[in-house]
Amino acid sequence: MDGPPAFLLSIDGAGVAAASDFPVIDPATGEPFARAPDATEAHLNQAVAAARRAFANWRDTDSDGRREAMKGFAAAIRAEREPLAALLTREQGKPLAAARREVEAAAERIAGMAALDIGGGYLREGPSGPVRLDYVPMGVVGVIAPWNAPLILAMQMVAQALAAGNAVVVKPSPFTPLSTLRLGEIAARTLPPGLVNTLSGGNDLGQWMTGHPGIDKIAFVGSTATGKKVMAAAADSLKRVSLELGGNDAAIVLDDADLDAVAPRLFASAFINSGQICMAVKRVFAQAPIADALAEALAVLARKARVGGGFDPDVELGPVQNQPQFTKVMALIQDARDRGGRFLAGGMAFDRPGYFIAPTIVTGLREGTRLVDEEQFGPVLPILSFDSDDEAVMRANATRFGLGASVWSGDQARAEALARRLEAGTVWINAHGGAAPDLPFGGFKESGIGRGMGVAGLRSYAEIRVMHGAGGA
């Protein structure tokens, strides 16, 4: 089998081979192209011990020292952008240009988190002298990442953990382990040994992490179903958890919106990464007078979108990342068809190897259909019609998810009034999607616990310690 050079686990600053490995599939062909090491529980124990040793020094490194080291790590990632992006496209499926942006964004997350100030300091005078508050690192953070944007998501958790003074053990998804293992090698070269340990393996490795007594916090990005298992497992030791989970984002398009301007932006916000983004638009609520025109405008864009392998420079949308997700999305399409959905574009897989689904626009559905109620996480978008503003808000909020939402309108005051009533961690007006290191990101309801990024995110990787009689500011 042709493929890149062998991949190793990174433990205590060194590459470590595993006795067994597992195949990694190219989603554009459906065929394996490389193998990833399958870490054992013994590897996890070694990684946690190494992280614990590294933590002892990193905890006492001042914020300037941490900042410099993290900036060096980010620069080393940028310097390897091309091979990292190519590997990411191969294992994840996204177009190469998007993979390049992801590598840049992963580096930016690290540099951006390093630049934030976690705060703390003098509070007030108390009975025994000055009282101060400090954000104290927790120890070892276990980072568990999904397959849709493996590098950005793993690195934003790693960055927060490091910036707050912790050491980490990182586990990428078994569907996309390779580019993260390469980042692990870069971390091993540029950061103190053991500060970032990278282990690939199956879901059992994730379970060992959530149960490990040497791990103080689990930072998790993935599905709501797995997030609940992580939280249940963490309860035993009261491990801290950050959970960034699924979404079913609504975009509300009002009857005064400029459809020529809205349609392309909405399409991009829904079909980015072939719909496999937590904060992609997953339900469009279009006001009745413009609903048909908007659906048709989106369908035109869907029919025109160029779908194919990520190395083809003309391609805009890659495959769905893996076989189980492909099967799930196809089942949602079938369910929509069985329930009277009208397919204005797509509605089928391409007749070729790999996990390619035609960008799909469906109308004629209501709540109670799987495509509306569940997170599709694929290139399929339902357009639902509504009458009043109140109805739109009520239906947008009638979900167990609460990650993102948007309102699209030519009337700023009307849009803002609606936006303020949406139950979501991020709300956009005339836009949808995007995250930045300084902005807290996360979900209401079953879209997560806590917020990642921003000072709020950074603080969730620390304990608060209040000290009385601290002897000065």
Does residue 378 contact residue 364 with C-beta atoms inside 8 Å? no
Query: What is the Cα–Cα distance from 21 to 38, expressed in whole angstroms?
Result: 5
Q: Which stretch binds ligand NAD (CB under 6 A): 43-51, 171-179, 281-289, 349-357?
A: 171-179
In this structure, the number of other CB atoms found within 10 A of the CB of residue 306 comes to 11
Tokens of 161: 């953990």
Give the angle 195-201-204 at the CA atoms, nearest 5°.
105
State the catalytic residue, choosing from 108, 278, 375, 446: 278
Does residue 13 contact residue 184 with C-beta atoms inside 8 Å? no
State the minimum distance, in angstroms, from the CB of residue 86 to ligand NAD.
22
Q: Is 295 in the site for ligand NAD (CB under 6 A)?
A: no
Query: What is the Cα–Cα distance from 200 to 202, expressed in whole angstroms?
Result: 7
Q: Is 222 in the site for ligand NAD (CB under 6 A)?
A: yes
In this structure, the number of other CB atoms found within 10 A of the CB of residue 340 comes to 10
State the catalytic residue, choosing from 91, 108, 185, 244: 244
Q: Is 210 in the site for ligand NAD (CB under 6 A)?
A: yes
Q: Is 445 in the site for ligand NAD (CB under 6 A)?
A: no
Tokens of 329: 């999305």
Q: Is 246 in the site for ligand NAD (CB under 6 A)?
A: yes
Q: Is 244 in the site for ligand NAD (CB under 6 A)?
A: yes
Among positions 20, 203, 327, 388, the unique one binding ligand NAD when judged by CB under 6 A: 203
State the minimum distance, in angstroms, from the CB of residue 156 to ligand NAD.
9
Q: Provide the mask over 178-197, with x wherever binding to ligand NAD is found by CB under 6 A and - wherever it is not.
A: --------------------
Query: What is the Cα–Cα distance from 58 to 52, expressed in whole angstroms?
Result: 10
Q: Is 102 in the site for ligand NAD (CB under 6 A)?
A: no
For residue 39, report the phi and psi dihedrals to the nearest 5 degrees.
Answer: -70, 145
Q: Is 391 a catalytic residue?
A: no
Q: Which stretch binds ligand NAD (CB under 6 A): 53-61, 84-92, 204-212, 234-242?
A: 204-212
State the minimum distance, in angstroms, from the CB of residue 152 to ligand NAD.
9
In this structure, the number of other CB atoms found within 10 A of the CB of residue 67 comes to 19
Query: What is the Cα–Cα distance from 124 to 351, expressed in whole angstroms?
Result: 69
Q: Is 463 a catalytic residue?
A: no
Tokens of 228: 């609940």
State the minimum distance, in angstroms, from the CB of residue 422 to ligand NAD.
16
R_g (Cα) of the chain, nearest Å: 23
Report the candidate in 88, 233, 236 with the shortest Cα–Cα distance to residue 154. 88
Q: Which stretch binds ligand NAD (CB under 6 A): 139-147, 327-335, 341-349, 406-414?
A: 139-147
Give the total of residues touching ligand NAD (CB under 6 A).
Answer: 28
Q: Is 223 in the site for ligand NAD (CB under 6 A)?
A: yes
Among positions 160, 190, 226, 409, the unique one binding ligand NAD when judged by CB under 6 A: 226
Among positions 147, 267, 326, 444, the unique one binding ligand NAD when judged by CB under 6 A: 147
Among positions 93, 146, 359, 402, the unique one binding ligand NAD when judged by CB under 6 A: 146
Among positions 113, 118, 141, 153, the unique one binding ligand NAD when judged by CB under 6 A: 153
Q: Which stretch binds ligand NAD (CB under 6 A): 40-48, 223-231, 295-303, 307-315?
A: 223-231
Q: What would the DSSP string read from start to end of 222-255?
A: S-HHHHHHHHHHHHTTT-EEEEE----EEEEE-T
Residue 362 exposure: Cα atoms within 13 Å on the Cβ side = 28
Does residue 145 contact residue 180 with C-beta atoms inside 8 Å? yes
Among positions 34, 69, 96, 278, the unique one binding ligand NAD when judged by CB under 6 A: 278
Q: Is 221 in the site for ligand NAD (CB under 6 A)?
A: yes
Among positions 247, 341, 346, 457, the unique one binding ligand NAD when judged by CB under 6 A: 247
Q: Is 245 in the site for ligand NAD (CB under 6 A)?
A: yes
Among residues 55 and 147, whose Cβ is nearest to ligand NAD? 147
Q: Which stretch binds ligand NAD (CB under 6 A): 86-94, 244-252, 330-338, 355-363?
A: 244-252
Q: Is 375 in the site for ligand NAD (CB under 6 A)?
A: yes
Among positions 81, 229, 265, 342, the unique one binding ligand NAD when judged by CB under 6 A: 229
Query: What is the Cα–Cα distance from 403 to 313, expressed in whole angstroms?
Result: 32
Query: What is the SS3 assignment for 334?
Result: helix
For residue 118, report the phi and psi dihedrals to the nearest 5 degrees.
Answer: -70, -20
Does residue 248 contact residue 284 with C-beta atoms inside 8 Å? no
Question: Within 80-223, where are the H helices?
Answer: 81-92, 96-115, 150-163, 178-190, 203-211
In this structure, the number of other CB atoms found within 10 A of the CB of residue 238 comes to 7
Query: What is the Cα–Cα distance from 442 to 369, expressed in whole angstroms?
Result: 26
Among positions 89, 92, 148, 399, the unique one binding ligand NAD when judged by CB under 6 A: 148
Among positions 7, 285, 377, 408, the unique one binding ligand NAD when judged by CB under 6 A: 377
Q: What would the DSSP string read from start to end of 87-126?
A: HHHHHH---HHHHHHHHHHHHHHHHHHHHS----EEEEEE
Q: Is 145 in the site for ligand NAD (CB under 6 A)?
A: yes
Q: Is 199 in the site for ligand NAD (CB under 6 A)?
A: no
Tokens of 263: 């349609």
Query: Residues in the site for ligand NAD, rule: CB under 6 A?
Result: 144-148, 153, 171, 173-174, 203, 206-207, 210, 221-223, 226, 229-230, 244-247, 278, 375, 377, 403, 448
Which residues are identified as catalytic? 244, 278
